[in-house]
Chains A and B, each alone.
Chain A
Amino acid sequence: MELLVASAIGILTAAGLYLVLRLRTFPVILGVSLLTYAVNVFLFASGRLTVGAPPILQKGVETYTDPLPQALVLTAIVISFGMTAVVVMISLGAYLGSDDDSVDDPLLPEKDGGRDVT
């Protein structure tokens, strides 16, 4: 089972990285979402895998899974929604403003972003 979870994390990461490296905003957002899954599962798995022992205290039960990673991941899931929404909004604004949803904007020598020093 450990192998299943580890390989799932690996596959999610690989797919996420590949999509993040695409040239348009939408696949990049999908890639970030996949990476979010991967990271959340990775963090969650740091409490090790336990089946059938949720951290709900009950009389007579002694074994519980590690609750701390769960609490951390829970807020991470909600925050990642907020972050996804912001990124989507930014990409939407960029697309609507320029009619182009490319993520790359290579610097050309003449439109060098550096300000003059003086």
Chain B
Amino acid sequence: MSLFLIVALPFLGALLPGLMNSAGRAACAGVTFMVSLMAFIGLLTNLPAVMAGEVVQAGVDWMPALGMNFTLMLDGLGFFFALLILGIGLLIITYGRFYLSREDNMGEFFTYLLLFQGAMVGIVLSDNILLLLIFWELTSLSSFLLIGYWKHLPEGRQGARMALTITGMGGLAMIAGMLILGQIVGSYDLSVILQNRDVIQESPLYLPALLLILAGCFTKSAQFPFHFWLPHAMAAPTPVSAYLHSATMVKAGIFLMARMWPVLSGTPEWFVIVTTAGLVTMVIGAVIALFKHDLKALLAFSTVSHLGLITMLLGTGTAFGAMAAVFHILNHATFKAALFMSAGIVDHEAHTRDIRRLGGLRTLMPVTFVIVTIAALSMAGIPLLNGFLSKEMMLEEAYHTVLFGSHWLVPGLAVLGSLFSAAYSFRLIAHTFLGPVRDDYPAKPHDPGAGMWMPPAILTVLVVVIGLAPFLAEPFVKMVTASVLGDPADVPKAYFKIWHGLVPALYMSIAATVGGLILLSLFRPALKLWDTAPRPEAKTIFEAVIAAAVSAARTFSHGLHNGAFTRYAAIFAVTVVAAGAHAWSTGVTGPATRSMQPAESVPIAGWLMLVAATVALVFQHRNRLLALILIGIAGLMVSVGFVFFSAPDLAMTQITVEVVTIILLLLALNFLPNRTPVESSVLRRTRDAAVGIVGGLGTMALSYHYLMRDAVATPISEFHLANSYKGGGGTNVVNVILVDFRGFDTYGEIIVLGIAALLIYALTETLLSGPVRARLLNRRPDQPLAGDMHPMMMVVLTRVIMPVVVMVGFYIFLRGHNEPGGGFIAGLIVSIGVVMQYMASGFSWTSARLRYPYHGVIGAGVLIAGLTGIGSWFFAKPFLTSDFTYVRIPPFNEFELATAALFDLGVFLAVVGAVMLSLESFSRLARRAHVKDSEHPMDIDPSRDDPQPAGGEA
């Protein structure tokens, strides 16, 4: 099966559990299982190639310019992890089906689980490190959702947040590290990076890259000092703990260290950092685990400890260490997932996982007892079980490792860690299952159904089979090791066997096991000692750090953002000007290459009017109606300017938009106060004026500067001018750019416009359905109303002119491709025509004659534009490729038919719909309760309430 499909299947399949939710729990779990099974089988079809030492590859270019490609590869290491992820995933899905109670939303759970599975498979199959980073972040996100699955539990939410914070920060560090690595090598493809060991290790950036990448790996794999999030993540449902926090996600960091092993390892820095971190984690995790009373907490810290063990092995940088690490990953995944699931069974059946309340379960839950005993003994490193084999290899490796010049440090600590590991494994068995049967269990414990004990049982069988016949696992482990090392010739020749003779590792192993038994017999005094010893509580520290960060952020942002809009508007303006000034003073500018064009009297007159209107606006802005008139003049002068400087399309757009904007503001002014009161002090106004003048001078200087110089690089406009007619079939280059060259932009823009209009509609609806409605309905206008609601002259004029307006709009639309015009402008013109009907004949009269709702018009516009774009797919062309032809129907002249015109029709409809929906929404606010809407011209408003002029009665 293609690698793409293996990665994509869980993601696609994630849609199914939610859909199957109503079909019942079995169907929901079943479909999830089938999805995983298909991916699993797909993976297995690649087994022969991988065993033969091939690297299966698949890839498509995504963003080659950024070095980011969707390339996947499957080698031994990737296969090994994918096998764990999908294989254990199948067992977890089965287990989860029976573990979750009826109150839990199973669809949601399995959706998250499949998302996680897809992201994990993505990590281990990525060939491109940027792609790998994306999947890496996805695992952090999906694990956040899974840990916090029980949203009602505060521990779940806190644990999820802590996990996301820690792994997310590590992820950020790793992005930086990976980018540095890519810069050193000049490629983001793993297959290239892995060939460049010398380049990377000689680079001065090797250490920063190594530190950043290790930060990502250590946080993900819960290595000291980032280990504390993992136990808190145990608030998750047990299937999640078993899957993410023992077998898969926490091994992602280990995976990456193994993946990067050929290029990053072997240096003193790598050796010291990784070995030390692993060793410390291993010992600390094992010590804490022994004294935990919660079964899952015990297992969590033991996982931390075992991850430390694997990290330590990878840190040694030897081929034998790598092989031992690979073997232990396999063994740990089998026994630890089985143990987690068993802990979940105990919790599920006895309703507690506190070891102090358990004990004596041996006769009550015999099946679970057998599973736990085998898995825990394997964890302790007892012979004939798989944990023993890899632990022997670890001790062997530790025996030969010299850290900080000491021959005793690593072996000593390794034995200490193993001793505690043995102790907590024995405690797990003894304190939970052995001893007398109690009569105060929260619930009566009994073995669960086969659906729950079968998955851990299958893993336990593996534990025993590998333990008894290690030669079965040997070729596979060696194949994986070969791909970690990068060269099959480097794989150690050592055979996997139970009996190696009287080697040091055996004595160390015996010492650890016996020591563990002795420690357990001294458990009570040891626990007393532990409880009295002061030790830092990671959660308290973490929360204090977070609280400090939040309070610092709050102080900072509230200092700048105190809720006063004027303050941050001013800060923004000043910052932009300062940044511009900095760029100006440090940048290089060339001499002026253009000469100033002489100004004639017309532009000077226009400029004077613009300046006069703007300055008057500033001084008169408190009189809001006058301000509207003044801003109208400014807008008019801007459109005249567009005409003057060869932009007829812009001028037409500006002038029509100006009209609808002024109408809109007039409508708004209907409700707002007519005057702005004087509030700010003279000092404040002086300050604001200073900000304005500095900003104005800045933009003026900038625009003057570039107006006097030609562009540094050749503008791409030449292409548009040259191809507009040949390629786009139109002589109006601006329109051709809009509907053809940059049609996709325009498509996005009409959608934005439509969304803005819908937003206005939605806000209006909210206002009209809330408490504001009553106020609006009973509002008394603050100005005397005209008695004549629908002036005869205006009604007649607008109705007569309507067909003409539509005709003009149609004409402007049609000629748009070749002459100034087009969908935008035609849409605005037609909108103005319709708005005039509203103004003259009233809301009810116009709405009653409305054939199509404006929402529909917007939708039709966007759809037509979109379908035109899709249409080109049927001719095997990219989205929105245009075509045109010339036809002649007598007696007309030859004219052009272009698909771009269809697209422009969509633009037209979207503009009409959006403009009209906005204006209509505003005018709906203006309707009042006690005033009956009249449809007739010359209608005298009976509710007219302004005082009649004296003697007006006849």
Give the residues in chain B near A67, CB-CB below 8 Å.
717, 720-721, 724, 733-734, 737
For A64, the closest partner residue in chain B by CB is: B721
Q: How far does the Cβ of B57 sit from chain A's closest Cβ, in whole Å?
A: 41
Closest chain B CB from A74 CB (angstroms): 5
| A21-B721 contact, Cβ under 8 Å, with A77-B653, A92-B672, A107-B558 | no
A70: chain B residues within 8 A (beta carbon): 647, 649-650, 734
- With A54-B820, A93-B763 known as contacts, the answer to whether A28 contacts B607 (CB < 8 A) is no
B571 to chain A, nearest CB (A): 11
Q: How far is the CA of A94 from the CA of B442 in the complex (A)?
A: 56
**B402 located at the interface, meaning its Cβ lies under 8 Å from any Cβ of chain A in the complex:** no
Contacts of B756 in A (CB 8 A): 79, 82-83, 85-86
Apart from A4-B607, A48-B711, A86-B756, list 14 A-B contacts with CB within 8 A. A15-B618, A16-B692, A20-B569, A21-B569, A21-B573, A22-B676, A38-B699, A44-B645, A45-B706, A49-B645, A54-B646, A77-B653, A88-B922, A106-B563
Given A21-B569, A68-B717, verify A89-B563 contact (CB < 8 Å).
Answer: no
Question: Which residue of chain A is the closest to B161 with respect to CB atoms?
Answer: A117
Contact: B691 with A92, CB < 8 Å?
A: no
Q: How far is the CB of B595 from chain A (nearest CB, A)?
A: 9
* Bound: A84/B922 CA distance, A: 13
Please name the residue on chain A nearest to B693 by beta carbon.
Answer: A14
0/1 interface trace, chain B 676-687, chain A, CB 8 Å (1 if under): 110110000000
> Is the beta-carbon distance between A64 and B664 smaller than 8 angstroms?
no
The interface stretch among B217-225, B512-520, B609-617, B883-891 is B609-617
A61 to chain B, nearest CB (A): 10
- Please measure, in the bound complex, the distance between the C-alpha atom of A57 and the C-alpha atom of B733, giving whole angstroms: 7
Residues of A within 8 A of B570 (CB): 21
- Rounded to whole angstroms, the CA-CA distance of A11 and B695 in the bound complex is 9
A-side contacts of B563, CB under 8 Å: 104-107
Q: Are A89 and B921 in contact (CB under 8 A)?
A: yes
Question: Is B732's beta carbon under 8 Å from chain A?
Answer: yes
- A13 and B716 within 8 A (CB): no
* Contacting residues, chain B, for A23 (C-beta < 8 A): 566, 679-680
B760, A89: Cβ atoms closer than 8 Å: yes
Interface string of B766-810 (1 = CB under 8 A from A): 110011100110000000000000000000000000000000000
**Min CB–CB distance A109 → chain B (angstroms):** 10
Q: Name the residue of chain B whose CB is nearest to the CB of A46.
A: B706
Residue B450 lies at the interface, judged by CB distance under 8 Å to chain A: no
Interface contact A56-B700, CB-CB below 8 Å = no
Contact check, B546 vs A65: say whether CB atoms are below 8 A apart: no
Tell me if B878 counts as interface (CB < 8 A to partner A).
Answer: no
User: Which of chain A's residues has its CB closest to B564's CB?
Assistant: A104
Shortest A32–chain B CB gap in Å is: 10
* A17-B650 CB under 8 A given contacts A56-B820, A96-B775: no
- 27 pairs of residues in contact across A and B, judged by CB atoms under 8 Å: A9-B699, A11-B614, A17-B691, A21-B569, A28-B565, A33-B661, A37-B634, A49-B645, A54-B820, A55-B721, A64-B733, A70-B650, A74-B824, A75-B745, A75-B824, A77-B653, A79-B756, A86-B760, A88-B665, A88-B668, A91-B668, A95-B672, A96-B925, A103-B565, A104-B563, A106-B562, A118-B543
Q: Which residues of A contact B725 (CB under 8 A)?
A: 57
B832 interface contact, C-beta 8 A: no
Q: Contacts A3-B596, A70-B734, A105-B563 given; indicate if A26 touches B766 (C-beta within 8 A).
A: no
A97, B772: Cβ atoms under 8 Å? yes
Contacting residues of chain A (27-51) with chain B, CB-CB under 8 angstroms? 27-30, 33-34, 37-38, 40-42, 44-51
Query: Residue B824 contacts which of A78, A90, A97 (CB distance < 8 angstroms)?
Result: A78
Chain B residues within an 8 Å CB radius of A16: 692
Q: A20-B569, A118-B158 are in contact. Are A40 and B638 (CB under 8 A)?
A: yes
A69–B641 Cα gap in the complex (Å)?
Answer: 15
Is B940 on the interface with A (CB-CB < 8 A)? no
Q: How far is the CB of B740 from chain A (nearest CB, A)?
A: 10
Closest-CB distance, A66 to chain B (whole angstroms): 5
* Cβ-based interface call for B403 (8 A): no
Is B645 a contact partner of A65 (Cβ separation < 8 A)? yes
Q: Are A6 and B707 in contact (CB under 8 A)?
A: yes
Report the nearest B residue to A57, measured CB to CB: B731
- Check A71–B737 contact: CB distance below 8 A: yes
Judge whether A30 and B631 touch: CB under 8 Å: yes
Q: Is B505 an interface residue (CB 8 A)?
A: no
B621 partner, pick from A3, A27, A57, beta carbons under 8 A: A27
- Chain A residues within 8 Å of B828, by CB: 78
